[in-house]
Amino acid sequence: LKLGSNQHSMCASVAGLQLPSAVPSLTDGSALDELFVWTCSEGEEAAVEPSIAAQAPQVSCNDADAHLQLSAAATALAVEPWAAQDARQFVGACSSAVHFGFYGCCVVRDVMSPAQCDALADYVDVRLAEACSFVEESGLDEATYVGDVFGKLRCRQRRWDIKLPMEGLVLEAMQSLGFSLGQLLSAAVGLDALLTELSCIVSDPGAPQQPLHSDSRSHDPGMLSALVALQEVTRAMGPTVLCPQTHCLAGSELLRSVRPHTDETAARVLGYQDRAIEEMSGTHVACQRGSAVVYDSRLIHCGGANLSSAEGGARRRMFVATFAMPGKVPR
């Protein structure tokens, strides 16, 4: 995908974007520089260099005794939303890269338009219904099946990870993602990073909270996920819980000290998750439609509990794209 800011682009559905004759295949492991090529309008600076990420004041990833300086104030600052326009600009991209390197996460507003989110949400609902029918008709167990239509996911009761094809509305969504976050992505994971996951996580009322976890086996940087809300996400809908600054060995050690169990049953122990999240200075990231929740895959996080409809719960759809440097494999 070739991204730019030409207002007379031939692609009317996404302003400022043109498509080459061939679109890279997700199954081939599309490289970031093949997916997103950025150009600037008059008066803008050139694209941010990938080396910006190295300038971020990161918490030590090798020292288990490192002081994480976790606090409610730092957590609030970590998830204070950025405007997509700021993330696109050179200065904004530099600032957001440093912010991301330090906290391990950020939130960017208006990555997708409301109309785009609504259309993609409807499409996801259809894909989910078709996927559930396929699994049932094939005699498979929806709670454990991982394959062509569903990805691997923790706590699958009323929660699904639906794999998406790189075409149509999904392709347009990736174009918007690249246009808004391309500078940050290239700074955080480099231009050689590969698109390793393209899906939508859906949770319905009654979905339990996941146990706190990270998505990476390594303490080295090199993988991140962007989750875009396809509708407003309220506290009652079980927003993603992020624990800023825990993308390091010290964060993993702290989690082990507050989490006596590693299986999903621990997430259902009354009060356990609340205590663990408090110890980790975690926050439930409620956000507007079209906002992207971006986090380093080493960061401690989880999906929240989607309450009953009577308590304000509702279907929550998060469009997911994961990028990893070559050699980094998601769990």
Q: Which residues contact 203 (CB under 8 A, 6 or more apart)?
A: 158, 159, 160, 237, 238, 303, 306, 315, 316
Helix (H, G, I), strand (E, B) or coil at 218: coil
Q: Does the structure show a pLDDT above 80 at 155?
A: yes
Comparing CA positions, the residue from 294, 311, 300 lying closest to residue 93 is 294
Comparing CA positions, the residue from 176, 186, 182 lying closest to residue 9 is 176
Comparing CA positions, the residue from 281, 156, 304 lying closest to residue 229 is 304
Helix (H, G, I), strand (E, B) or coil at 320: strand
Predicted confidence band of residue 27 (pLDDT cuts 50, 70, 90): very low
The span from the CA of 239 to the CA of 110, in Å, is 17
Which tokens sit at 198?
Answer: 């393209």
Which tokens sit at 214?
Answer: 């990270």
**Across 97-117, average pLDDT:** 92
pLDDT digits (tens, 9 = 90+) for 264-291: 565 556 566 788 888 888 999 999 999 9
Question: What is the separation of C-alpha 292 from the centre of its chain, rounded to a whole number of angstroms?
Answer: 7
Looking at per-residue confidence, does 153 or 172 come out higher? 172
The span from the CA of 9 to the CA of 180, in Å, is 16
Q: Which residues contact 101 (CB under 8 A, 6 or more apart)?
A: 53, 55, 56, 57, 58, 188
- Look up tokens 């440097």; give the residue: 325
The fraction of the chain above a pLDDT of 70, given in percent, is: 72
| pLDDT for 18 | 31
- H or E element in which residue 127 lies: helix 114-137
pLDDT digits (tens, 9 = 90+) for 290-320: 999 999 999 999 999 999 999 999 999 999 9
pLDDT digits (tens, 9 = 90+) for 207-230: 999 888 888 877 888 899 999 999
- Rounded to the nearest 10°, the torsion over CA 247, 162, 319, 79 is -30
Predicted confidence band of residue 3 (pLDDT cuts 50, 70, 90): very low
| pLDDT for 229 | 98
CB atoms inside a 10 Å sphere around CB 183: 26
**Across 59-78, average pLDDT:** 61
Mean pLDDT of the chain: 78
The span from the CA of 163 to the CA of 252, in Å, is 29
Residues in the chain: 331
| pLDDT for 23 | 31
Predicted confidence band of residue 95 (pLDDT cuts 50, 70, 90): confident
